[in-house]
Structures are given as structure tokens and as C-alpha cells.
Structure 1
């Protein structure tokens, strides 16, 4: 994983900026390590996750794909992440490069994504992800 930069309305050293950075980095690590209990704690019960393929998942369906082995992340790299804290909401944008196992096939994925987080009494919760595939480079 890459080191992230933060751009937000708050100071880069603010508790909110540090909190969203920690939450997103914990999500990345949980995805890679298959730590589904940790991942479940970070996801909102109303999660809307749109993959770069256009497929959509809820919290339950996404966790089921991971727990059943239908989806597994072999490698993850996040390039140039930007964190924007806007009151109780945070936006995280980055390029994700990954090697995934999906449906028994290994594939390379490169996408640009936007993640929407909400700061709740229980901490930061991921509300939505929208990923867009990147064109292959020669």
C-alpha cells in the first residue's frame, strides 16, 4: 500500500482527518488480509458498493463473497489517495490496483474510486463505494 496524502477542509492534523485516514487504511488491510470481522465493523449496514465491473453489493453480499472465497484480494495498491473531511462526511478518492481471484479466475484490476464515509457515534462507517475501471495502458 502507498502512503496517503490528505486534502480536507480541516487541518491535516485534525482528529477527523486522522480518523478517516486510519479507517480507510484499516479497510484496505482488512480486505487484503481477509479479516472479515474487522471489515464488517467498518462497513455501514446500508453500504452501497459498486465495483468497477458495474456489479453492486450490499454489506451482506460483499462480506458473503469474501467469506465464501468467491472474491479474494491477492494484492492491493492504492495510488495517490486524497482524503476530504466535510463535517460528518468524508470522501476518499484514489486509484486502486489489485490482483483478485473472482469466480476461480485471477485478474488484474485498475480502477479509480470514490468512497463515502460517515462519522457516526460508533466511529467512521463506509456508506458507499463507486469504482470506475481505468483503461489499460500500453
Structure 2
């Protein structure tokens, strides 16, 4: 009888750990999906897509030190002041703690800010918060590399 209880407890522990791992992978994938939505929205920005992805408390830091709030971030992209033609993300890592996710990656882009052709190669830190069942961008900071 004791062996059956021990086997049951071991099986329950394995199932619980497997379930936790699956849940963590699902959360990580949801954050990765949010990053991809942001990437696409920065290339083809609309008020609706940017509104949906950004927290109302957004702090968006550029590699030149300029800091924008949500309204400034949206205006710059929609107006073409900040214009990304392509964005490639590499070396991405995602760390989730409770309802907050930290994403680091390298960003390489072709730009045309205010119509002037250019390129960008940045190291980026994104902070996402899970609000109302979805991941919202709370903060971003980029540095030139």
C-alpha cells in the first residue's frame, strides 16, 4: 500500500512539474508574440495597433537619450518622424517574473526617419506587463552597439 502511495505522489509531482513547465513556455510564447506584434506595428504603424500594444504609462527610451511617453511614441511612428522600413531582431531572451516580462534583443533596422535614409543597430531592453489578460509594453530602452 505504501508503494502505491509513493508511486502516486511521484506521478503527481511529475505531472505538476510538467504542467508548470508548459505554462511557463506558454507565457514566454505569448510575450514573444507581443514582441512580434510590436515589431510589425513599428514597420506599419497605425493608431489602433500601437494603442493596443502600449501601456498608458509607456516610457520609450531611444538610443540618443530621448524619452517619449505613449502619445509621443505613437505620434512619431504614425507621422513618419520615426520610420522603420525593416526590423530584424536577434539574440532575444525572455524572463518572466509574476506579471512582468523582461525582453532583451539586438535590433538591426533600415530607417527613413523624416524621409532621411539610415540604419540602426541597437541593443534593446523591453519591459512588458500583463494587464487585462494581455501583454502591454511598459518600458523600452535602446543603446547603440
The count of corresponding residues between Structure 1 and Structure 2 is 126
Q: How does 1:97-112 map to 2 (within 5 A)?
A: 97-112=108-123
Measure the CA separation in 1 of the matches of 2:109 and 2:51: 20
TM-score, structure 2 as length reference: 0.80
Does 1:83 pair with 2:94? yes
- Give per-residue Cα distances to partners, 1:59-105, cap 9 Å, x unaligned: 10011111212121111110111111111100000000011111331
Match of 1:61 in 2: 72
Unaligned runs of 5+ residues in structure 2 are 1-19
More helix, by proportion: 2
The RMSD of aligned alpha carbons is 1.8
Match of 1:33 in 2: 44
Does 1:114 pair with 2:125? yes
Unaligned runs of 5+ residues in structure 1 are 1-8
Match of 2:85 among 71, 74, 89: 74
Q: Which protein, 1 or 2, shows the higher relative CO under an 8 Å CA cutoff with sep ≥ 6?
A: 1
Q: How does 1:19-30 map to 2 (within 5 A)?
A: 19-30=30-41
TM-score, structure 1 as length reference: 0.83
